[in-house]
């Protein structure tokens, strides 16, 4: 047999029973194999260690860059433009005191942790076992919180959990209603046939109102969209209701109106010298014109709304044969919903509002809150309900409630969409949300006696009071802020009142899933949406308290900033109109025209970098970020698991918002 041969003996064809190695060098061969395998394993381990170690410098660089960015943001932030100084706000003082107490408590918890004080059986500790002053203080605090603080926190948390579950049930019922509408393909129907195209006199008289105030970015496209509405020219009048304080802008808008009038459009320009009552005052003034009595319907379009030419053709016929219908509301559609993370998160909320809330309430109740624009009113309904009032900052909801109390019904058209913009900066969005959540509380205080005395059914009264106002306008911001921004971090220092996992995890995620269903493309943003909604709760809670108790900030009206974005089909036409703007001015050879041309050129000059707008920092949000991160650190000491991760990411969410790192970045 050859010296290097290997003999393999097989007893059975299906089983190898014996392997005989007849080679003196075989052991050397296997030894080399083992050595090579050891070296390969060592190199593999070293390679993995190298990759792990190289990851840390990347984290360090990213962290240092983030700190530099944060430092720059704080140094350059513009904090002098807040309409109400933060030091005057009670809620900020409360957060600061809460944060200071939490930091002190965390220091004691660190000392207890590293001293290995076992407090699981604290009630068995007697004074002889106390080790020093700090230990005595900590033992006293544990005893005090267990007997006096924890029961109160538990009662408050249980109350908030009950409110949370009621609100979740309301969302669930709305979702079922929306599913039923989709399943049965229910849509508002038009009675009879439409209007005779060949007979213009068969069309009702329609007034179109465009209220605006210093809307430099959007006035041209909004006027152009209204002037292109498909309706007989002699049966429509467009009112441009300009409340601008900028004299140059007034001239520009007036010139835009004149250019469309020269094309045969029935359009007029109105400017108030005494601008009181904000938008409600503007609309009320316009309705006092003598010629309004010749019109049957009025369509309201805010300055950034761009209806399709068939908007009136799709909405006005729903009044035909229905004398009890007072309002037809269309849905909003957004041209910039994918512009940044902030607009994506807003789109989720508003999709649920229109797809679910408005549609379900419109079909089953015949009532919903007027959205303030993209709607057509029967003028008779406005007049019988008292017209536009200046008593709140939500004049749209005010007139809707009063019309409902007078027996008028509303129709919501989910398939008719009107393009508009979402606020792209957090500052603009925050001011908008403050107005949207303080106004309803003002209105609730004013309308409650009228609701109780009205002749509508008890079910409609209960719906208005408990669902429309209390549950969706008051309870939602109250429990969201109290439960997730106050009680949850508090329970980290008072573990006797710890919240169950299903309250902070399973139910919020389930409700967020329901909210996101109308916008299925937004599913990847589920967790950012959940965290951002909790972050916005501080603004909504502050607004709700301001409106309920008539604080100064409840009556603030700030026009939401617009960027002038158009749909892709409108970009070319809009650019052409912009290029003709200077030509219009030059054709007017008057001194005022030449002066205006000079002002336009001055405004187009480069802006001084020192005067450039800067992002802001928000102290309430930053204080809450520190509070939640402090509570997360305490949770980490106790190995709370899901509580730690929730507090950590929620704290980081507040930090991002507080540094104005979400939405439009201008500095």
Q: At what angle do helices 619-638 and 90-115 cross, to 10 degrees?
A: 20
How many Å apart are CA 490 and CA 486, to the nearest integer?
Answer: 6
Overall residue count recorded for the chain in this entry: 667
- What would the two tokens of residue 430 be? 């925050």
- Hey, what are 165's tokens? 């579950």
**Start-end of H helices in 185-218:** none
Q: What is the DSSP letter of 608?
A: P
For residues 543 and 433, is the Cβ–Cβ distance under 8 A?
Answer: yes
For residue 456, give the DSSP letter.
S
Annotated active-site positions, please? Answer: 243, 396
> Mind giving me the DSSP string for 227-264?
HT--S-GGGEEEEEEE----HHHHHHHHHHHHHHHHTT
Q: Are strands 325-334 and 375-378 parallel, antiparallel or unpaired?
A: antiparallel
Q: What is the residue whose two structure tokens read 């604290």?
A: 122
Judge contact between 222 and 301, C-beta under 8 A.
yes
As given in the structure block, the two tokens for residue 434 are: 């403050």
- Selection from 86, 161, 48, 108 nearest residue 500 by Cα: 161
The gap between the terminal CA atoms of the chain, to the nearest Å, is 86
| C-beta of residue 238 within 8 angstroms of C-beta of residue 268 | yes
Buried b vs exposed e over 516-544: b needs ≥16 C-beta within 10 Å? bbbbeebeebeebbbbbbbbbbbbbbbbb
Give the integer Cα–Cα distance in Å for 290 and 268.
14
> Which two three-digit tokens encode residue 293?
């009595």
- In sequence order, what are the beta bridge partners of 208? 238, 299
CA distances from 264 to 232, 250, 271, 306 (A): 12, 22, 22, 20
Q: Which residues of 404-417 are buried (b: 16+ CB within 10 A; e: fewer)?
A: bbeebbbbbbbebb
Residue 282's contacts (CB-CB under 8 Å, 6 or more residues apart) are 211, 213, 241, 243, 272, 275
């Amino acid at each position: 047999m050859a010296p290097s041969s290997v003999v393999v003996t097989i007893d059975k064809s299906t089983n190898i029973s014996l392997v005989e190695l007849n080679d003196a060098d075989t052991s050397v061969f296997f030894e080399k194999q083992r050595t090579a395998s050891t070296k390969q394993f060592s190199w593999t381990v070293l390679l993995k260690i190298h990759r792990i170690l190289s990851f840390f410098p990347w984290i360090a660089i990213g962290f240092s860059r983030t700190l530099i960015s944060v430092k720059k943001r704080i140094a350059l932030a513009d904090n002098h433009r807040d309409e109400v100084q933060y030091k005057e706000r009670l809620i900020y003082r409360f957060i600061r005191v809460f944060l200071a107490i939490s930091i002190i408590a965390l220091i004691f918890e660190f000392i207890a942790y590293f001293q290995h004080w076992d407090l699981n059986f604290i009630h068995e500790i007697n004074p002889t076992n106390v080790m020093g002053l700090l230990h005595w203080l900590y033992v006293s605090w544990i005893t005090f919180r267990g007997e006096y603080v924890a029961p109160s926190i538990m009662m408050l948390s249980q109350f908030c959990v009950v409110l949370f579950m009621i609100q979740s049930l309301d969302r669930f019922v709305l979702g079922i209603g929306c599913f039923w509408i989709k399943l049965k393909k229910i849509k508002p129907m038009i009675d009879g046939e439409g209007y005779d195209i060949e007979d213009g006199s068969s069309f009702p008289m329609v007034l179109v109102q465009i209220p605006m105030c210093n809307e430099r970015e959007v006035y041209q496209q909004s006027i152009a969209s209204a002037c292109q509405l498909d309706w007989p020219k002699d049966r429509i009048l467009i009112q441009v209701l300009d409340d601008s304080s900028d004299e140059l802008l007034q001239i520009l808008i007036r010139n835009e109106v004149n250019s469309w009038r020269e094309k045969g459009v029935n359009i007029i320009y109105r400017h108030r010298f005494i601008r009181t009552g904000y938008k409600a005052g503007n609309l009320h003034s316009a309705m006092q014109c003598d010629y309004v009595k010749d019109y049957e319907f009025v369509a309201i379009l805010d300055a950034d709304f761009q209806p399709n030419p068939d908007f009136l053709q799709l909405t006005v016929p729903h009044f035909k044969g229905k004398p009890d219908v007072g309002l037809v509301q269309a849905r909003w559609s957004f041209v910039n919903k994918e512009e940044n993370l902030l607009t994506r998160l807003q789109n989720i909320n508003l999709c649920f509002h229109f797809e679910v809330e408005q549609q379900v309430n419109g079909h089953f109740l015949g009532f919903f809150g007027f959205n303030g624009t993209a709607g057509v009113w029967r003028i008779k309904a406005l007049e019988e309900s008292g017209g536009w009032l200046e008593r709140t900052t939500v004049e749209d909801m005010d007139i809707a409630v009063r019309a409902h109390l007078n027996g008028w019904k509303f129709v919501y058209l989910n398939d008719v969409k009107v393009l508009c913009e979402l606020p792209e900066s957090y500052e603009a969005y925050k001011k908008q949300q403050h107005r949207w959540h303080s106004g309803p509380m003002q209105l609730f205080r004013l309308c409650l006696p009228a609701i109780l005395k009205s002749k509508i059914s008890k079910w409609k009264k209960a719906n208005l009071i408990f669902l429309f106002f209390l549950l969706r306008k008051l309870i939602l911001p109250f429990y969201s802020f109290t439960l997730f921004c106050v009680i949850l971090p508090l329970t980290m220092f008072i573990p006797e009142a710890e919240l169950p996992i299903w309250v902070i995890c399973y139910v919020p995620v389930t409700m967020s899933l329901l909210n996101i269903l109308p916008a299925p493309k937004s599913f990847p943003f589920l967790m950012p949406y959940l965290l951002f909604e909790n972050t916005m709760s501080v603004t909504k809670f502050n607004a709700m308290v301001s409106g309920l108790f008539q604080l100064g900030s409840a009556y603030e009206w700030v026009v939401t900033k617009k960027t002038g974005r158009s749909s892709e089909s409108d970009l070319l036409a809009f650019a052409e109109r912009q290029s003709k703007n200077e030509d219009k001015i030059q054709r007017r050879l008057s001194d005022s025209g030449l002066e205006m041309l000079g002002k336009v050129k001055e405004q187009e000059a480069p802006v001084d970098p020192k005067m450039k707008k800067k992002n802001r920092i928000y102290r309430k949000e930053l204080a809450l970020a520190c509070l939640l991160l402090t509570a997360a650190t305490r949770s980490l000491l106790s190995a709370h698991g899901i509580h730690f991760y929730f507090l950590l990411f929620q704290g980081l969410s507040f930090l991002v918002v507080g540094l104005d790192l979400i939405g439009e970045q201008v500095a």
